[in-house]
Amino acid sequence: MFEEKLQAQTTEFANGERPHTSKPKGYFITATGTDVGKTFVTALLVKKWRDSGIDAGYYKAALSGAEFRDGKWVAGDADYVKRIANLPDTQEQLVSYVYKEAVSPHLAAQKEGNPVELSKVQADFKAACDRHEFIFAEGSGGIICPIRYDDKKIFLVDIMKELGLPLLIVTTASLGSINACVLTVEYARARNLPIRGIIVNRYGSSGNLEMENDNIRMMQDMTGLEILAKIKDGDSDLGVDVF
């Protein structure tokens, strides 16, 4: 049953999850979990596009776990991408909501105030698109991350749908990655979100390349998605051309 379902999904999504006939205006970067390295990957993506002559930018709706530097709170993820990709944008242009505590955005907002409003996310994303010809939007945590949970309930998937960008899913190839990657893909597909492909981060870091290569093959076979890049720790380039 499971194999038949996967085969049907592979047939159904192999073309449908590629970008449409016109090139997308950007990608939405999500991951199989927290600390998979999607900010590191996003920085390399923005840098690669800009180095290739494309005016790529960055946007993040909500960031928790800001860093206190030189007397002010800094959105660390956005600041990292800004430095690596040499972006001219200000922090306020890069991130709509910045929370101090390193917890899920919904909890940070409950504790600190200033909960996420989709209208601001929409406006800030539009402004980013107006400044740049291509936008990499980075998610918070994994694909099921709650963004707001009070009288309004907003999940990361709601932001994905609002922005309307194909997904890039960042994963590792470590032990357990097959399960995490396939579940992420299945969750996205159940919500009719287009997926461009998978990026493997920290390739080779386990020290067991036989396992990692098999995990990568299984993730590709079980999802029907393309492995777009394999990135090692410390890489300063994406290692592939723009896609």
Q: Is pLDDT at 195 greater than 80 in this prediction?
A: yes
| Phi, psi dihedral angles at 177 (to 5 degrees) | -70, -30
Segment 70-92, tens digit of pLDDT: 899 999 999 999 999 999 999 99
Please report the pLDDT score of residue 35 as a whole number: 87
Segment 8-31, tens digit of pLDDT: 444 444 444 444 445 569 999 999
3-state helix, strand, coil in the chain (%, to 5): 40, 20, 35
Catalytic residue among 48, 60, 82, 230: 60
Write the CB contacts of 186 (distance below 8 Å, at least 6 apart in sequence).
none
Measured at the CA of 179, the angle between CA 212 and CA 20, to 5 degrees, comes to 90
Mean pLDDT of the chain: 92
Segment 94-148, tens digit of pLDDT: 999 999 999 999 999 999 999 999 999 999 999 999 999 999 999 999 999 999 9
Is residue 73 within 8 Å of residue 67, measured between CB atoms? yes
Which residue has 């998605």 as its token pair?
225
Q: Report helix, strand or coil for 108.
A: helix
CATH number, span 26-230? 3.40.50.300
pTM: 0.90
Please report the pLDDT score of residue 24 as a whole number: 61
Percentage with pLDDT > 90 across the chain: 89
Q: Which among 239, 243, 169 is positioned nearest to 204, based on CA atoms? A: 239
Mean pLDDT on 139-166: 97
Report the alpha-carbon distance of residue 100 to residue 207 in Å, rounded. 35
Q: Which of 9-13, 159-163, 231-235 comes out lowest in average pLDDT?
A: 9-13
Please report the pLDDT score of residue 15 as a whole number: 40
Alpha-carbon separation of residue 242 from 23, 44, 165 (angstroms): 12, 11, 16
Alpha-carbon separation of residue 48 from 100, 153, 168, 188, 242 (angstroms): 30, 35, 15, 26, 7
Q: Is pLDDT at 5 greater than 60 in this prediction?
A: no
| Sequence spans of domains, the chain | 26-230
Let me know if 100 is a catalytic residue: no
Q: What letter represents residue 234's amino acid?
A: G
Alpha-carbon separation of residue 218 from 153, 212, 213, 222 (angstroms): 35, 10, 9, 6
Q: How does residue 238 score in pLDDT terms, banded at 50, 70 and 90?
A: very high
DSSP assignment string, 176-218: THHHHHHHHHHHHHHTT--EEEEEE-STTTTS-HHHHHHHHHH
Is residue 105 within 8 Å of residue 64, measured between CB atoms? yes
Q: Is pLDDT at 7 greater than 70 in this prediction?
A: no
